[in-house]
């Protein structure tokens, strides 16, 4: 993957209109994602005062990039050689098509609570989008010469939007906003629900908290949220879902470690496991540490957490310290879970294997994933998962429990891997677990959890 360096605008910062600056940054983000870079990393380089606005527009653009790409092909006689100009056009088209999506949403009855859809939809007047996109183009010498082309394309879309929209909706990549291979895979896997699965992932997930039961009861914490005017739902055993997202600094007790952000689907891991004080537990591929922390909140165990990325493992330690969970019973290792060079020879009572995957189940929180992944990545991650499982199974005590987890909705990384475990280890007894969780709401609307797969096994004593 080649790194694309962000371009610096030639116009002094003080002279740039706010929206045009945001559009320039958002276009750069889109350009960098199309070159193979993570949107999270790209946004980390954006200045704090503009980051929220840039994120809103770049996330929206990632969600509906397929439609914008199809429209750009109809509007352009040939491909624009300048990737920044192409990205500006894509962002502009995404913003101009917001009204079309609003019309489609109004035509569909949605019984789910509207408050749970925390999507910051960037709505602007058509003339504002066009004018500010052109101003954004003027901010760099490489894009300024294409101002006329951008103007012609955007205004042509506005003149012909009904016919253009009808044309692109005939293309599946444009209608569902995923690469065709992804659409085909989901359709084969879920023939009755495939459209729901695809559409649901284009709706941002709610902000979900995990209450730190070591420091506060959920009922007491919920009362604090009510007092602070934060409407919410109780979910599962430890989760609270905010009906409207707010910066975490506005959540009472967040900085004091009374809660942490964790999707409701991810919180199932600790409740599935037969936890008890004194057990020796391994969380493999642990970063950022949500499941590690949740186990420590629920039981006094000796915890080993490992991750191949030292920086991400450092974040695990920071999170545990903030929650008051880091102690001499917690051992952190930077290591490859497919190997045992880090292991001290002591078998584990419980192993959580939240293995690397395509992350296809969390696209609604990371919409760049669907454009970064390739079809070949599915088989590659599946092969790595099997290597990790084979190694970790050998570290489990007879009578111990093994929880296989992925944040994927692809069967190759879920149900097929569970079958592999059953077939590969004669001492593996499969137990009850949720299996495949799809990020869809049973009544339509916003799902209360991301896409996950869970399979629980017990290692039989010989």
Tens-binned pLDDT, residue by residue, of the chain (462 aa): 445 666 655 544 444 448 999 999 999 999 999 999 999 999 999 988 899 899 999 999 999 999 999 999 999 988 887 999 999 999 999 999 999 988 877 654 454 445 555 457 889 999 999 999 999 999 999 899 999 999 999 999 999 999 999 999 999 999 999 999 999 999 999 999 999 999 998 988 999 999 999 999 999 999 999 999 999 999 999 999 999 999 999 999 999 999 999 999 999 999 999 999 999 999 999 999 999 999 999 999 999 999 999 999 999 999 999 999 999 999 999 999 999 999 999 999 999 999 999 999 999 999 999 999 999 999 999 999 999 999 999 999 999 999 999 999 999 999 999 999 999 999 999 999 999 999 998 776 678 999 999 999 999 987
Cβ-proximal residues to 223 (8 Å cutoff; 6+ apart), any chain: none
289 labelled ligand-binding: yes
Instruction: Give the model confidence (pLDDT) of 288-313 as tens digits.
Output: 999 999 999 999 999 999 999 999 99
307 labelled ligand-binding: yes
pTM: 0.92
Instruction: Give the model confidence (pLDDT) of 322-350 as tens digits.
Output: 999 999 999 999 999 999 999 999 999 99
Enclosing H/E stretch for 311: helix 310-322
407 catalytic residue (yes or no): yes
Per the listing, tokens 């010989």 go with 462
Annotated active-site residue in 94, 153, 259, 407: 407
Which tokens hold the place of 93? Answer: 């088209």
203 burial via Cβ count (<10 Å: 0-12, 13-18, 19+): buried
286 labelled ligand-binding: yes
259 labelled ligand-binding: no
184 labelled ligand-binding: no
∠ at Cα 254 (40, 359), nearest 5°?
Answer: 30
User: Could you tell me the domains of the chain?
Assistant: 19-171 (1.10.940.10), 264-459 (3.40.50.150)
């Amino acid at each position: 993957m080649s790194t694309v360096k962000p371009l610096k605008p030639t116009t002094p910062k003080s002279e740039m209109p706010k929206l045009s600056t945001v559009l320039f940054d958002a276009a750069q983000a889109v350009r960098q994602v199309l070159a193979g870079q993570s949107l999270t990393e790209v946004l980390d380089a954006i200045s704090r005062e503009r980051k929220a606005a840039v994120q809103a527009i770049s996330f929206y653009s990632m969600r509906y990039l397929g439609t914008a790409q199809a429209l750009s092909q109809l509007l352009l006689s040939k491909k624009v050689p300048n990737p920044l100009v192409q990205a500006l056009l894509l962002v502009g088209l995404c913003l101009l098509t917001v009204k079309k999506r609003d019309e489609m949403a109004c035509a569909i009855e949605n019984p789910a609570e509207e408050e749970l859809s925390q999507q910051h939809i960037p709505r602007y007047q058509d003339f504002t989008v066009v004018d500010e996109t052109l101003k954004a183009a003027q901010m760099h010498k490489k894009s300024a010469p294409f101002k006329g082309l951008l103007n012609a394309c955007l205004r042509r879309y506005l003149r012909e939007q009904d016919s253009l929209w009808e044309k692109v909706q005939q293309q599946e990549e444009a209608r569902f906003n995923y690469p065709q291979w992804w659409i085909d895979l989901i359709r084969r896997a879920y023939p009755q629900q495939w459209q729901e699965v695809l559409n649901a992932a284009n709706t941002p997930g709610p902000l979900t908290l995990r209450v730190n039961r070591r420091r506060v009861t959920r009922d007491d914490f919920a009362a604090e949220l009510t007092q602070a005017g934060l409407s919410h739902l109780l979910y599962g055993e430890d989760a609270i879902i905010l009906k409207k997202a707010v910066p975490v600094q506005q959540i009472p007790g967040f900085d004091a470690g009374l809660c942490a952000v964790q999707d409701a689907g991810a919180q199932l891991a600790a409740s599935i496991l037969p936890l008890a004080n004194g057990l020796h537990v391994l969380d493999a591929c642990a970063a950022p540490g949500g499941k590690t922390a949740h186990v420590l909140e629920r039981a006094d165990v000796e915890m080993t957490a490992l991750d191949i990325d030292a920086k991400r493992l450092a974040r695990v330690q920071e999170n545990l310290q903030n929650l008051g969970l880091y102690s001499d019973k917690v051992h952190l290792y930077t290591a490859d879970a497919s190997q045992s060079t880090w292991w001290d020879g002591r078998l584990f009572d419980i192993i959580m294997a939240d293995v690397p995957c395509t992350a296809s189940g969390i696209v609604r929180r990371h919409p760049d994933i669907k454009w970064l992944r390739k079809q070949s990545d599915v088989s590659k991650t599946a092969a790595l998962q099997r290597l990790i499982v084979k190694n970790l199974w050998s570290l489990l005590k007879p009578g111990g429990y093994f929880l296989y987890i992925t944040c994927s909705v692809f069967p190759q990384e879920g149900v097929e891997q569970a079958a592999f475990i059953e077939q590969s280890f004669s001492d593996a007894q499969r137990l009850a677990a949720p299996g495949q969780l799809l990020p869809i709401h049973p009544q339509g609307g916003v799902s209360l959890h991301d896409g996950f797969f869970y399979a629980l096994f017990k290692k039989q004593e010989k």
